[in-house]
Structure formats: structure tokens, C-alpha cells
Amino acid sequence: MGWKEELASLTQNRNTPSKLRFDEPLSKYNYFGIGGNAAAYFEVSTTDELAHVARLKKRRSVPVAIIGRGSNLLVSDAGYPGIVIRLSGDFNRLEFDRNRVEVGAGVSLPRLSKIAASHGLSGVEFALGIPGSVGGALIMNAGAWGSSFGDLVERVQVMTDKGEFVNLSHDDAQFSYRHSGLRSYFCVTGATLTLTHGDAGEVENLMQDLYNQKITSQPFAEENAGCMFKNPSGHSAGKLIDECGLKGHRIGGAEVSKIHGNFILNLNSATAHDVLSLVRHIQDHVKRERGVDLEMEVQLLGF
Ligand SMILES: Cc1cc2nc3c(=O)[nH]c(=O)nc-3n(C[C@H](O)[C@H](O)[C@H](O)COP(=O)(O)OP(=O)(O)OC[C@H]3O[C@@H](n4cnc5c(N)ncnc54)[C@H](O)[C@@H]3O)c2cc1C
């Protein structure tokens, strides 16, 4: 039996809401709307299934990639030769105990922000305008307006490549600017967050204010993956790109946003190749004119 048959046997004749598809277009699962097919796409809804895939990966050396909402992802035009996993079901849990929140890695950040606000809990207001999942936010240490997701974390739950759960402390997770040490595990499965009691109306107002400021200063209408580059120490990547006159620059179907220089838009059926060519063009230009290296924030899959 090949790995595909073994994977298929996980869902066949079982009463599971998990979805398994072979040769599935990944463009459907990322905000750029770009990318070739995955050999297998598996929306995993139980911890047993996830543990099985972890062991399959190790035993058969099948490439496995975990994705969240695909909001910080550029997928290769050639797609991905292994299994792409997205978390659902068991991984969408969201439980409140006073100011503590147990949250699964599959929960979307906007949902977490809204429900926290309705409980009068403050801390995650900044995340209403970040269209990722908790898993992606933990891996990337997503943030805005001076707040980062890692700041809220008390513990992180991960799965190892043996399919075993491990609970990590905040310090074990090694959060830094748009980075964590969590990539060394097979999958991030959830976290315990500590929020602060506040007034529900005030929390709601702050959350909406931050959201409104975001949608008026960043492009939301066109397909994109958020900020393309990390801000180099002491600089704003968007400002550097703007000062180099690159706003509106276009390669193939990809364009540097005219609203915010750090966003690349898929305006007209852009390929991953178009986006990466534009990335290299921007990096060369900014290095030559300003002497600054721009490091990509958007993560690559299948390259
Ligand atoms: C319009 C827009 C606005 C944005 N604004 C912001 C912002 O203000 N601040 C900010 O920080 N980001 C922003 N982003 C980027 C993005 O939303 C965040 O980085 C988000 O945290 C990514 O989450 P995701 O679930 O989409 O992860 P994905 O993009 O799916 O994945 C990102 C990386 O995390 C890995 N990963 C995801 N889930 C798991 C998991 N459970 N276990 C292991 N690895 C995993 C993936 O393999 C990949 O390497 C924005 C994006 C868009 C499109």
C-alpha cells in the first residue's frame, strides 16, 4: 500500500468530518489565490488523524506541510509534492475560564478577537484585522499596533513528529519579531492565552477603531498576503519601498500596492513566479538605493 492509500484508509468508512482530496489546487486555500496542486490536501478534524499523519511522515518520508488560513503564504506554481494539512474540528475549540482562554490552532483571529471582546476581555483587539489562524499567529508571532500574539501566550501545545503532544512555556516558544521557535515541531495545535478583564464596550470600541484604521491604510480589496517584508531594524519596509518609487510597479499580474508599499497584490492572475520576481526587484532596488536588506515575511511553500 502506498502513502496515498494509507492516508485514504484514515477517512474511508469512518464517521469523520475530515476532508481528504488528492491533486487539490492550493490556490483555493491562500489569500494570494496562487499556487499549483497539492499531491494530497487533508483538512484534519481529530487529534488521532493528525498523530497518524505525523507518524506517516516519519515512517514513509512523505513531505507534510501545515497551513493555517494561508494569509501569509506564497505557494509555488508547481504546487506541493506531499500532504498539506489544515486544522479543523477538534482544533477549533475556544474555552474561557475567567481571563484565561484555551484556544485551538484552527480558530481564526477575527473570531477570537470578537468573542474575547464579548467576554469583556482585553489584549487581542489588534487581531480583528489579521485574517490568519491562531496556529499561524503563533508560528509567525503576528502583531500590529505594537502588540504581538506571543505576548498573550502562557502555554503553547504542539505535536511532535512521533504524534505526541508537548506543552511548552511562553519562554520555550522563543517569540521574537514575526518569528517563533515553534517551527521545529510537527504542528502547533493550540495555546493558553492570558487576557485582561476590561469593560466590554471599551474593548469592542478599541477593536473596531484599530480595524477601521487598518482597512483605511492597507489594501483589503485585492488578493494579497499582508506585509511582504519584515520591517528592518530602525526602518519601515513600506516607507523604503515608497521612497524608492516602487509603488505601482508591476511584473506580470503582480503589483506593488499603490496604497501601501509593503503589500504585493495579485491583480491579474499573477503567478508565484511573478510575485517572486517582483520581490527580488524590490530587494535589489532597496539595497542599491538605501543600502538596506529586506527580508521576506511571507512564507514560501513548495519552492
Ligand atoms: C490583509 C492582510 C492583513 C494582514 N495583517 C497582518 C498584521 O497586521 N500583522 C501580522 O503579523 N500579519 C498580518 N497578516 C499576515 C497573516 O495574517 C499573519 O501572519 C497570520 O498570523 C498568518 O496566519 P495563517 O493561519 O494565515 O498562516 P499561514 O499563512 O497559513 O501560514 C504561515 C506560516 O505558518 C505555518 N503554520 C500555520 N499554521 C500552523 C500550525 N498550526 N502548525 C505549524 N505551522 C503552521 C505555515 O506552514 C506557514 O509557514 C495579514 C495578512 C493579510 C492577507
Dump pLDDT digits (tens) for 250-294: 999 999 999 999 999 999 999 999 999 999 999 999 999 999 999
Q: Pocket around ligand 1: residues whose beta carbon is below 6 Å from it? A: 31, 65-73, 87, 105, 130-133, 135-137, 139-140, 142-144, 187-188, 220, 224-226, 299
pLDDT at 221: 86
**Domains, the chain, ordered by start:** 3-89 (3.30.43.10), 93-202 (3.30.465.10), 220-301 (3.90.78.10)
Mutation to probe ligand 1, out of 28, 69, 130, 236 (largest number of atoms < 8 A from CB): 130
Which candidate, 273, 279, 284, places its Cα nearest to that of 261?
Answer: 279
Distance CA 154, CA 150 (A): 9
Tell me, in angstroms, the distance from the centre of ligand 1 to residue 12's CA: 31
pLDDT at 97: 96
Tell me, in angstroms, the distance from the centre of ligand 1 to residue 179's CA: 11
Distance CA 30, CA 238 (A): 22
pLDDT at 12: 84
The answer to whether residues 303 and 289 touch, using CB atoms and an 8 Å cutoff, is no
- Give per-residue pLDDT as tens, 162-216: 999 999 999 999 999 999 999 999 999 999 999 999 999 999 999 999 999 999 9
- Least reliable range by pLDDT among 8-12, 48-52, 105-109, 129-133: 8-12
Q: Is 80 exceeded by the pLDDT of residue 13?
A: no
